[in-house]
Amino acid sequence: MKIDTFLTDYKPPDVVAKYFSYEYLCNDKEGRVVMYVDFGNLDLKGLWLAAKPSDGIKTAMLYGERDIKQLHQNNKK
């Protein structure tokens, strides 16, 4: 996988996309990013067994890069 096209080409595995909810909601009054992560309903062991460790690392990288991109866009405003 090429790092230059990682944000556009990589799609998390179905099991990760379905059972790990991590979403951008909005910005607060001071411009900070508000994220939603549903840890209460997360079956971490089941997710670990259903996906490869490399999928977890790639998905975490994807979410981190998306967050950084969102922060840069917000700072330009």
Q: Encode pLDDT of 13-43 as tens digits.
A: 888 888 888 888 888 888 788 888 888 878 8
pLDDT exceeds cutoff 80 at 1: no
Query: How many CA atoms, within 13 angstroms, populate the side-chain half-sphere of residue 59?
Result: 21
Residue 37: which residues within 8 A CB-CB, separation 6 or more? 21, 22
DSSP 16-31: HHHH--EEEEEE-TTS
Global model pTM greater than 0.75: no
Q: Please compute Rg for the chain using Cα positions.
A: 14
